[in-house]
Each structure stands twice: as structure tokens, then as C-alpha cells.
Amino acid sequence: MNKNRPVNLDLTTIKFPVPAITSILHRISGVYLFIGIGFLVWMMSTSLESAQGFKVVQSMLSSGIAKLILWVTVSAVLYHFVAGIKHLFMDMGIGESKESGPKMAIGVVAISAVLIVLAGVWIWA
């Protein structure tokens, strides 16, 4: 490789294309979920333990901070899910062109945004 080739690693001068943004969000949501799943596994385990455990989870979920954590975690699941479906499409060769790639990425942002808002309504309503 030519060592004198021009390189630009100044991220502030680079405009990221939408697929790059959906890709890094997929990764960030995945790393977060590794921790967030712990919260969900704890909720499942405690709620199944006994009627009392079920009540503990129920009453915990009436607190604002627990609702917020649940919403963030459910949002990460939903985003990771939608972006993951795009990956499966791309595995089949759909949405890989210069024209269809950004369209699919915008679709991922739009669909997951709607689902995340609906999740918020579900959790707080």
C-alpha cells in the first residue's frame, strides 16, 4: 500500500451517509443490549419465582426510572430488530446498491422511530 496516500481521519469533516449511521447504531444498540438483557432476564426470573416476585416486578415498573430503563431497553431491542431485518435482506442481495442502500437505511430509521414511540405510549399509558 502507498504510505503517502491521502488519508482523512478527521471525523468532524466527514458527512456520514445514512447507512453508516444505521450501522453504528445497530452496533451501539447491540452492545447496550448485552447489559440491558440482564435487566429483562432479572424481570423474567423474579416475576416467575412466586406471586410475590411478580408483584415486586409490577410495583417496580410503576416507578418513573424503571419505566425509563425499560423503554430504553425495549427501544434498543426494536431498533436492533429492525436494523437486523435489513441485514437479512442484504444477505439476500436486496438493498445493496447505491440507490437502494440509503432508502433501506431511511426505512430502518422511520420504522424503528414509529415502533419506539409506540413502545413509549405502551409503557406510560
Residue owning grid cell 406471586: 51
- 91 forms part of the interface with another protein (CB under 8 A): yes
Which residue of 23, 30, 60, 111 would you call a contact of another protein, by CB under 8 A?
30
Query: How far, in Å, are 11, 33, 35, 67 from residue 39 at the CA level?
Result: 34, 10, 7, 12
Q: Return the number of the residue (50 or 63) whose C-beta is nearest another protein.
A: 50
Which residue of 32, 84, 100, 101 would you call a contact of another protein, by CB under 8 A?
84
Per-position DSSP letters for 41-59, written without gaps between them: HHHHHHHHH-HHHHHHHHH
* DSSP H helices in the chain: 18-49, 51-60, 64-91, 100-124
Residues 31 to 50 in contact with another protein, rule: CB under 8 A: 31, 33-34, 37-38, 41-42, 44-45, 47-50
Query: How far, in Å, are 43, 74, 85 from residue 67 at the CA level?
Result: 13, 10, 27
- 77 forms part of the interface with another protein (CB under 8 A): yes
Residue owning grid cell 434498543: 76
- 85 forms part of the interface with another protein (CB under 8 A): yes
Which residue of 68, 81, 94, 106 would you call a contact of another protein, by CB under 8 A?
81
Task: Write out the residues near another protein by the rule CB under 8 A.
Answer: 27, 30-31, 33-34, 37-38, 41-42, 44-45, 47-51, 54-55, 77, 81, 84-85, 87-88, 91, 122
